[in-house]
Chain A
Amino acid sequence: MPSYSFNVNNKPHTVDVDEDMPLLWVLRDILNLTGTKFGCGVASCGACTVLMNNQAVRSCQVQIQTCGNAKVTTIEGLSEDGSHPVQKAWEKMSVPQCGYCQSGQMMNVVGLLKAHPKPTNEQIENMMAGNLCRCGTYQRIKQAIHLVIEETAKG
């Protein structure tokens, strides 16, 4: 079996897995980082979103052989203790219900804000449209995103 080395949450990892294994399952089943969730496997829900080289990607669509020496950040690596501005905004707005979609939502927002530090409402809606929340917390997610933007502007 081929061996792949890459960086997850600032730590080097080497895994021996099939070349077509999606990053999602490498994270969850090989590296035990279960904060990244499986929701569909076909890019329809966003539950598996992580950052790859600072870009939000659906980890169910990324085969390990294409990762190269990418830097991957998962929810576990966003902060040690939930202190990342996005996590804090999520806490303040009490966003989650079941919580299952929320690591994907938050990682997508981190990626969104890296790409567009001051997104318009339309950009927010477009870029979040791929992240389903079946519990229906969209309104709180939107409010939390605006809170992050405000807080960041305050510095």
Chain B
Amino acid sequence: MQTSSINRRNFIKISSLAGGGLVLGFLLPGKGMAAPSESGDFLQPNAYLKIDKTGKITVFVGRQEIGQGVNTALPMIVAEELDADWKNVTAEILPYSTNPIPGYKPDGGGIYDTGGSQSIMTDYTELRRVGAAARLMLITAAANKWKVQPAQCITENGFVINTLTKARLPYSALVGDAAILPIPKDVVLKQPKDFKIIGKPAKKTNLKDILTGRAKYGIDVKVPGMVFASVERCPVLDGKLTSVDDSACKQVSGFIKTVTFESSGVPMHLHAGVAVIATTIWSAMKARKLLKITWDEGANNKQSTDDLFKTFAAKANDKPVKEVYKKGDVTNTAANTLELVFAEPFLAHGTIEPMNFIADVRPGFCELWGGLQLPDWTVQIISAEVGLKPEQIKTNLTLSGGGFGRRLHFDFALEAVRISKQIAKPVKVIWDRTDDVRNDVYRPASLHAMKASWDNNGKLQTWQHHKVQTSIEVMTEGPDTKSPPDMLGGAGSDLWYDIPNVYTGYTHVDFNLNRGWVRAVELCVNVFPVESFIDEIARKLNKDPLQYRLSLLEGRAAFETEGSKLHLDPQRVANALKLAAEKISYHEPRKKNHYIGVATHFFSFARSYAAHAVEIEMTGAKKFTIKKIVSTIDCGIIINLDGLMNQMEGGTVFALSQALMSEITVTNSRVDQDGFYTYQVARMPDIPPIEVYTIPSAEEPGGIGEASLPTLAPALCNALAAAGERPVRLPLSKDGWSWG
């Protein structure tokens, strides 16, 4: 399998640059590049926007909707500059093409890539230009009609208005004339103070479809002639099939046949599998239970997470294999020292829609249906698999019942392709929940050895962070990966606190379990020890943890991080924290047995800043109730206020599962958990009141889809530390904590 030049690390880097404005202009083709509507029935200046004669405005969304709301926020950006009546705006999935936009072909990621909370950040300026260009064409069409200068016309809520005569024409009446005009190259964008749509709360564009059951997700798609497959996979990642006996399957009505496929390596690791093909998914699932299979599990079939954490602990005492960031000299430790070790488990995604995919592979032909967060990379790898050029593969993207990074990976798509190829029919592969929990790409387990020292005046002098984990990049790129280790989130040069001597390093440990990107990835993994450790230092110094943090942020100027070249403003880190403290009444007297913990961070994937404050009541030994969670965010300009609130609440809940109860463990190289009874996640009774507050800002918009995850666990653990015992290991349930 070839290694892709595209990986998410590059994708994040490249699109961060794009956010800085280096690829401006890619969405707007020059004159003649978009096909103007010959009939004049509609105006479609580019692939992203279409206005028809009924006044219906369709924005084609080129990012995967996974619940994060791109199908509303991105159209809002276009509608704003178009001065559209929001009521007339609908969103559709931009039909996938291997090269949809002339002139846009970044080498670090595809146009449809959806990850790192970066859709808004990357598309903001371009989508404004899309709206503004169409608006100018409509104005020009009206001005020609009225025989006045375009400058004498304004737009408002879907109308062009002649300022001399007060005459008004709806956009619907102008699309025919506008469609034959040249597409303007230069457009003037609005001043943010004039925004009417951006910044307001908007309902999801497909809300009605969701509420009536009409929304179509990947699992709902039907293709003529389609059969179904349920797959029995080798429980060990790199095992092989020795033998399969499917004779008993024949007694199941609807059973067609079985086909097999081997495991695969970089970039998408499939477990070897036996696919049971049938006319319904129920028949396939039933027949699958009757398979008799023997696997050759290979040499790596005795590994366990218990042993892995022992290895982690041993390695943590060694020097890091990779030095990540060095400032000053940490070998000169000051008089007082503190060491703490933090541990975090493997985690699954647990999207509510289990993995599924449809592939139709025949000689010289391939068509795909499903939700994909990185379709360009997927198509590139599948094209090699089926021996077709990427442009010969037709990809139909669908809604997804959750993403959380799971669909950045496309092992499930590759499986469907391998199965369809053998039966020359369209096949829908559906994973059941056990398949989904046992064959995920897990967030890596990790251990963090933290060391700090301060002088006798209480001034923090040194800070060391050694992270030992099972690398993601080794899975997606192979053992020789040159990608930087997962050290964003304060574990590298992006540590927001001002400490004179810093050393951070990384050690990878091999483990036979697939790994990947789970929502907020290393930011969650690293902010937990960073924000717990700084809190513990404050406690040891007998200082208030909030004030202590602020003292380490105070006066620190904005800076550019090394390597990743991110702009980090410590004052915005401080402001998110201060707002969280204020809203949880940090400075008010507390009720008996009530404790508050805080944590803050720079959300480096997409230039936002977010914090949490958590209030708990201790109700017994190791027993607590979460009374309230405050979540704050500074993401620059806000696009959809309601979408943002929902994401911040939901991200907090997602992180709460991880803090309290979620854990993947491994015995004999197989995952122990088999579904939502054993891989536990938060349910309604686990959820305390969550309040979200935003910080007004005129900065360019950042991302929010993952911003509220990283600080929840440390804020909760800091509250528990305030009550007397600091948790150093997640999930809390593992060490006997209980809540309710």
Question: Chain A residues in contact with chain B, CB under 8 A?
Answer: 1, 17-18, 20-22, 25, 28-30, 32-42, 44-45, 47, 74-76, 78-79, 81-82, 87, 90-91, 94, 96-103, 106, 124-126, 128-142
Contacts and interface: CB of A to CB of B under 8 A. Distances in A.
Given A44-B433, A94-B203, A133-B653, 4 more contacts: A36-B213, A96-B211, A101-B352, A131-B683
Interface stretch (B61-69, B141-149, B182-190, B484-492): B61-69
A136 B211 contact: no
Q: Which interface residue of A29, A34, A42, A99 has the most chain B CB atoms within 10 A?
A: A99
A134 B350 contact: yes
Given A21-B282, A39-B354, A97 B213 contact: no
Given A136-B649, A137-B646, A142-B684, A100 B401 contact: yes
21 contacts: A17-B280, A18-B282, A36-B213, A37-B219, A38-B354, A75-B213, A91-B211, A97-B69, A98-B66, A99-B204, A99-B209, A100-B353, A102-B210, A128-B684, A132-B683, A135-B650, A135-B654, A136-B649, A136-B653, A136-B656, A137-B646
Secondary structure dominating the interface of B = loop
Secondary structure dominating the interface of A = loop
A80 to B, nearest CB: 8
A126 B402 CA distance: 24
A41 to B, nearest CB: 5
A97 B219 CA distance: 17
A140 B206 contact: no
A134 B683 contact: no
Contacts of B723: none
A53 to B, nearest CB: 20
Contacts of B690: 139
A90 B211 contact: yes
Given A41-B432, A132-B676, A94 B66 contact: no
A134 B219 contact: no
Contacts of A37: 217, 219, 352-353, 401
B105 interface: no
Given A37-B353, A44-B433, A131-B684, A99 B649 contact: no
Contact of A126 (B219, B222, B685): B685
B88 interface: no
A97 B211 contact: no
Contacts of A130: 683
Contact of A40 (B66, B285, B675): B675
A101 to B, nearest CB: 5
B404 A76 contact: no
A38 B265 CA distance: 30
B215 to A, nearest CB: 6
Contacts of B404: 134
Given A18-B253, A138-B684, A40 B432 contact: yes
Q: Which interface residue of A29, A125, A126 has the most chain B CB atoms within 10 A?
A: A29
Contacts of B208: 82, 91
B280 A25 contact: yes
* Interface pairs A-B: 7 shortest CB-CB: A35-B213, A136-B653, A100-B401, A98-B67, A99-B210, A136-B650, A75-B213
